[in-house]
Structure 1
Amino acid sequence: MIAFLRLLTRAVTYTRWLHLVMAAVVATVFAFVSPGLGNVNSPAGAWLVVVPLPFLAVAAMVPGVRLSEGMQAQLLLFPAGRPAGRKGTEPPHFTPARSASWADRRRTAMWLVVRYEVGVATAFLSVHAPTLVVRLIGGAAGSRPVRVPLGNPVPGGHWSYAVLGLLVAVLFLAFAVLAGELQARAARALLGPSAAERLAALEERTERLLEHNRLARELHDSVGHALTVAVVQAGAARAAGSPAFTEQALAAIEETGRHALEDLERVLAVLREDAPGPAAGRPALTDVERLLTAARGSGAEVTAEVTGALEAVPGPVSREGYRIAQEALTNVVRHAGPVPVSLRIAVRADALELDIRNPLPGAAGSAVSGGGSGLRGIRERAALLGGHAETGVHEGVWRVRAVLPLGA
């Protein structure tokens, strides 16, 4: 009961009622054109709920009608200023738009029919229910017969008429609230996007989120690698105290930083345009020598073995393989320090295999074997291409192994 009374205090309850009774304007026009339709107490009056329907279906074929109806629904059926999508609030509604297909026109026609039928019923009750309440309460206090809509007068002078009048008032208010809620749901279903359109929008949003996640991984790998190399090179140069080594370290920092800036500019350009970026500017396995030079400049003893033609690896696989190798080498430099590292790249007939191994010197083993975002990113990159990646201790050394199908 308290919840029902709370509904009666909401402004949207009355704006929805107004939206419902506005549909009676169409019925009024037809009643003026054909006076017999206006007499609801006669059989001819029943035609008032049927005759306008073909005209409403024709009106629904006009694209602008859907836009007009959507704007009215937005204004009157949905509360303003309330957050959407949280418990206890209105669900998200829709954006009014013109009919863009025959499916939109059919749903607009269904909406006009639903709005008209429910609106006429609401308008009829809005006129006759309050009148009946007054007559019943008056009939309980006097002896005059009580006239009821669509029926014969009944004798007055009985106290139960007052209770019946209150019941009629409550039932009318409940009907108005329920009809308004049903009208709002019908608007979302018939004036909002179709199921196919919602699915297409969801797929587009999912693709955009996936692209943004990929770009986040790109930034993590590229910029993280550059910063790691810069920090390690700078520390080694200061400890060495050799001008020649310092010049070599600065050159490595400059080259790595330049490549990181290029990656950063490319990713930021994609984010600004909110569109997939060109793949041509992204490094691939053919640029793996860049990674080896940076790792060696940081003190790691890297030995590389390449089997097969890297140029034959498909672009997406080659680019993701480069990032996997970059993340693995960055983890070695960051956590294990200047240790021997073996990098093996094998291009087989059906898959690309990457195998990076390094020893675990003391406590560094626990540090490099953590489950950070870098290792998780390696596994995610492999999974997105239909492959798999393994990271962990293997035969006493730390190993990163990834297998990427060439058909991905």
Structure 2
Amino acid sequence: MPGLLQPLTRAVTYTRWCHLLVAAFVPFAGAFIHPGLSRPAPATWVVIGLQPVPLVLAAALIPAVRRAEGLQARLMLFPGAEARVRSGGAPKVSAAPSASWSDRARTGLWLVLRMETGFVLALVTGLLMTLSLRLAGAALGGSGDAAWLGFTAPGWVYGLLAPLPLGAMAAAVVAAGALAAGAAGRLLGPSGRERLAALEERAERLLEHQRIARELHDSIGHALTLSVVQAGAARAAGSAEFTSRALETIEETGRAALEDLERVLRVLRTPSPSATARPDLTQAERLFGSARAAGAEVDAEITGALDRVPGPVSREGYRILQEALTNVVRHAGPVPVRVTVTAGDRSLLLEVTNPPPDTLSPPSGTGGGSGVEGIRERAALLGGRADAGWEHGHWVLRAELPRGDGRA
């Protein structure tokens, strides 16, 4: 029994009731014009309910009507955040204007369904409330007041019957509200175009999150790796002069990492073009200096004009080179590193070669972490490719990025 009465304790039951009764105003308003409400016959009620349908369908052709109906349905047909009882499976209702004839057709069906359901519910509400009041009056006035029922009984019998119409009315209200909520999800729900746009927007957000994650991994990971290597080398060297140089390198690397972090945070706060400026290959010497400060012997050869490489390609190339040098410092330590950067007419070629820590016995694995995989992802996003592996006792990373037209 408590489960049957639970819908009557929910505010959404009564907001749905009001939402449907408001729609019943249209046929009742038209009835005052034609055919009138003076003792209408059953067939007249059918005419009253159906005559506004063409007008309602015409209104559905206006794109803004779908938006208005969607906003009303969200507010009146589904529990809000403050509801004591949540509706976990509430369908999503669109609040966008009609963008196609399919949207207009579904809006028209919804308007007709809402109006007709509200019209029938208004008649049922009036009929059952009147019946309950007459039964209550018969219970107070004696058996003769209920002769219209076709039988006579003591007053207390009519008193027991009086709540039954109210119960039937409550059941009708709950059922009509559930019908309206279900129909709203189907008829006012997002169209295929809206769902596709939502999926594209979500995909763009995920791609942006991945890009920011890669940026943080490359810049902060690079800085932390160099700092850890410098700190360990300074402790092992036991030289005041070397320690001073190491601390200076750690300071410079930390300052650069903070600049990168602040830039990423600016992108998150205000994604404007001025906030998305990122380092490119014209600043490659900064990477070489950091690697040399960590003990690596970097021999760099640059061919071609780096300042003419398209921006997206140059920026991704910088990050690939940064990740490659970070991996060298992290996994091989202070070893000779050969870096070749070739800016060709059609592609940008990057190659980083280094021996293992012990040149007599190169490691059998390919290295841990996600650095190489991140390099492959960056190259693939630009339509290029990247490979890494052991060749003749040296670890070689190669990346080829097509220059294209500069778009990414």
Q: TM-score range by the shorter chain?
A: 0.7 to 0.9
Amino acid at match of 1:230: S
Q: What is the deviation of 1:355? A: 1.9
Give secondary structure in 2 for the equivalent of 1:238.
helix
Residues 121 and 277 from structure 1, CA distance in 2 versus in 1: closer, same or farther, beyond 3 angstroms? Answer: farther
Q: TM-score, normalised by structure 2?
A: 0.74
Q: Give 1:2-401 correspondences, 5 Å limit.
A: 12=12, 15-36=15-36, 41-57=41-57, 69-81=69-81, 89-91=88-90, 93-94=92-93, 96=95, 99=97, 108-124=107-123, 180-188=177-185, 190-191=187-188, 194-275=191-272, 278-279=275-276, 281-361=277-357, 365=363, 369-370=367-368, 372-401=369-398
Q: Over residues 96-136 of structure 1, what are the superposed CA-to-partner deviations in whole Å (9 max), with x where a residue is unaligned?
A: 57x5879787765553223112333444556679999xxxx
Q: What is the deviation of 1:351? A: 1.9
2-side partners of 1:334 and 1:36: how far apart? 89
Q: What is the deviation of 1:269? A: 0.7
Residues 395 and 188 from structure 1, CA distance in 2 versus in 1: closer, same or farther, beyond 3 angstroms? Answer: farther
Q: What is the deviation of 1:368? A: 6.3
Amino acid at match of 2:288: L
Q: Over residues 244-295 of structure 1, what are the superposed CA-to-partner deviations in whole Å (9 max), with x where a residue is unaligned?
A: 433433333233222222211111111112456645x311112111111111
2-side partners of 1:388 and 1:277: how far apart? 29
Gapped regions of structure 1 (runs ≥ 5): 133-145, 148-152, 154-169
Give secondary structure in 2 for the equivalent of 1:399.
strand
Larger mean Cα displacement after TM superposition, 5-14 or 74-83? 5-14
Q: Over residues 353-400 of structure 1, what are the superposed CA-to-partner deviations in whole Å (9 max), with x where a residue is unaligned?
A: 222222233698468611x23232212111111122223334433232
2-side partners of 1:38 and 1:384: how far apart? 74
Residues 52 and 252 from structure 1, CA distance in 2 versus in 1: closer, same or farther, beyond 3 angstroms? Answer: same
What percent identity do the matched residue pairs reach? Answer: 56
Q: What is the deviation of 1:180? A: 3.7
Larger mean Cα displacement after TM superposition, 176-185 or 281-290? 176-185
Q: What is the deviation of 1:236? A: 2.0
Q: What is the deviation of 1:325? A: 0.9
1-side partners of 2:116 and 2:41: how far apart? 18
1-side partners of 2:253 and 2:401: how far apart? 26
Residues 13 and 353 from structure 1, CA distance in 2 versus in 1: closer, same or farther, beyond 3 angstroms? Answer: same
Question: What's the C-alpha RMSD, in Å, of the aligned pairs?
Answer: 4.5
2-side partners of 1:68 and 1:214: how far apart? 38
2-side partners of 1:9 and 1:385: how far apart? 58
Any conservation in 2 of the 1:31–1:38 contact (CA below 8 Å)? no
Q: What is the deviation of 1:321? A: 0.8
Q: What is the deviation of 1:337? A: 1.0
Paired position in structure 2 for 1:135: none
Q: Over residues 9-31 of structure 1, what are the superposed CA-to-partner deviations in whole Å (9 max), with x where a residue is unaligned?
A: 87645653553344223222222
Residues 46 and 54 from structure 1, CA distance in 2 versus in 1: closer, same or farther, beyond 3 angstroms? Answer: same
Any conservation in 2 of the 1:391–1:401 contact (CA below 8 Å)? yes
Larger mean Cα displacement after TM superposition, 13-22 or 73-82? 13-22
Q: What is the deviation of 1:58? A: 6.0
Any conservation in 1 of the 2:66–2:188 contact (CA below 8 Å)? yes
Q: What is the deviation of 1:214? A: 0.9
Larger mean Cα displacement after TM superposition, 373-382 or 48-57? 48-57
Q: TM-score, normalised by structure 1?
A: 0.74
Larger mean Cα displacement after TM superposition, 372-381 or 217-226? 372-381
- The number of residue pairs the alignment matches comes to 385
